Amino acid sequence: MATIKVSKETRRWVLFVALVAPALFLRFITAVHPVYKTITLSFQEVNLLTRVTRTVGWRNFVELIHDPSIWEVMRFTVVLVAASVVLQLVLGMGVATLLNASFRGRHLIRSINLIPWAIPTIVAGLAFRWMLDDQYGMITDIISRLVGHRPEILIHPGSAQLAVILVNVWKNTPFMAVVLLAGLQSVPHDLYEAAKIDGSTSWQSFRYITVPVSTPLIITLSLFFLIWQLANFDLILGLTHGGPGIATTVLSYRLFQEGMLWYKWGYASALGVGLMLVVAVVGLLGLYLFRRYDVRF
C-alpha cells in the first residue's frame, strides 16, 4: 500500500492553517462581512417597511452630500469628539496623577472615581436632563444661586452643546484616569529618583518623564476614545434627543434614526460608510500627530 509522504514543512502549514482559520473565520463574519455588507447596502435603496430593495448607485451619497443638515451634524460631531478627548486626556492625567500619589484611603478613592463610568450612559443622560432642568434642576439651581439667573441650559444651542460635552467628559474621564494610572504605575521609580538628584522639579519630572513614557498609552487611549465616541449616541438620546433643532445631533445619532427608527438601511449605510471614513481619517491623523509628538521626546 502506497503511503503519501508529507513533508515537515507541509505539516507545519497544515497546523498553522488549522490554528489560525477559526480566528480568521470569526474575524471575517464579525468584521469583514459587516463592512462589506454596509458598503453594498450603501449603494442600494433598502427599506424593510416599504419592502423596496434596488440598486441606486451613488444616490445615497449624493443625497448625503446635498443634505444641508449633515454638515451641521458633522461639525458638532467633530467638536464633541475632539473637545471630549482632549478634556478627558488632560483631566484623566490629572486625576491619575492624584490617584498615583500615596495617601490614606487611596484605594477607596480609586473605586469612587469609577462611579460615573459605571453608570449606564443612557441613565446618565436622563439624569442630567433633570439636573439641568430650568425649574427643578440641581445644577441650574446652584448656578442661579451663584449668578442670580436661572439659565435654560438645554434650550440654547451653545449651552446645550457645552452641556453634552461636559457630561460626556464627566462620564468618561474616570475610565481614562484608571488606564492612565496603570501606565503611571509602570514608570520605573528610579527615573524619578535620578531626576530628583539632578534637581528636577515635580513639573519637570512630569513633563520629561511621565508624559514621554506614557505617550504610547496616551496614543492608544486617544485613538480608542476618538473612535468609540464617534460611534456613541446614547448620551445624546437621553440628554437632548439631538436638539434644540439639530444643534446636538451627531452622526451616529442620525445613523440610528435613519437605520433603526425609519429603516432606511441604504441611506443609513451610506452614513455608516461616511462615519467609517471619518473614523479612518481622524484615526490616521491622530496617529500621525501623536507620532510626531512622540518623536520630540
Partner 1 sequence: MSRSTRVVWIVMSLALLMLAATFHAAAVKITVGVGGWAVDDLKRALVELQFTEKTGIEVEVVTRPGSPPEFLSQMTSAFIAGTTPYDVVDIEDDVAISFSRAGWLEPLNDLFDDEFWADWPADMRAMVDVWHTHNGEIFRIPHNFEAQYFFYRKDLFDAAGLTAPRTWDEMVTAGKRLTTEDRWGLTDGLAKGAYLAVYMGYMTQQAGGNVYDFDDSLRTSLQFIHDMMHEHRIMPVAALNKDYDAINVDYMNDRVAMMRQWPFFYDVSRSDPDWFAEDKVAIALPPAGPASGETYAAAWGWVIPVTSDKKEAAKTFVQFINSIENAPKLAEMSVWYLNTRYSVMSAMQGRGLAGHLQQYSQAGVIGTRPFHPNFLEANAVVEDLASAYLTNQITLDQVIERGRARMQTLQ
Q: Which residues bind to partner 1, rule: CB under 8 A?
A: 48-51, 63, 68-69, 129, 133-136, 152, 154-157, 240-247, 257, 260-264
Count of residues for the chain?
297
How far is it, in rounded angstroms, from Cα 290 to Cα 215? 8
Nearest CB to partner 1, comparing residues 161 and 214? 161
Nearest CB to partner 1, comparing residues 122 and 178? 122
Nearest CB to partner 1, comparing residues 263 and 288? 263
Nearest CB to partner 1, comparing residues 50 and 55? 50
Minimum CB–partner distance for residue 155 and partner 1 (Å) = 5
Minimum CB–partner distance for residue 27 and partner 1 (Å) = 25
Residues near 174 by beta carbon (within 8 Å), at least 6 away in sequence: 92, 95, 113, 114, 115, 116, 117
Nearest CB to partner 1, comparing residues 243 and 283? 243
Minimum CB–partner distance for residue 69 and partner 1 (Å) = 7
Nearest CB to partner 1, comparing residues 127 and 211? 127
Minimum CB–partner distance for residue 285 and partner 1 (Å) = 30
Nearest CB to partner 1, comparing residues 59 and 110? 59
How far is it, in rounded angstroms, from Cα 172 to Cα 117? 6
Long-range (24+ apart) CB contacts under 8 A made by 90-96 are 91/169, 91/173, 91/176, 91/177, 92/173, 92/174, 92/176, 92/177, 92/179, 92/180, 93/177, 93/180, 93/214, 93/218, 95/173, 95/174, 95/177, 96/176, 96/177, 96/178, 96/180, 96/181, 96/183, 96/184
Minimum CB–partner distance for residue 194 and partner 1 (Å) = 56
The distance between the two most distant Cα atoms of the chain, rounded to a whole number of Å, is: 99
Minimum CB–partner distance for residue 238 and partner 1 (Å) = 10
Nearest to 81 by CA among 291, 241, 286, 260: 286
Minimum CB–partner distance for residue 228 and partner 1 (Å) = 23
Alpha-helical segments (H) within the chain: 8-27, 33-41, 59-66, 68-100, 106-113, 115-118, 121-131, 138-147, 157-185, 189-197, 202-205, 211-230, 234-239, 251-256, 265-295
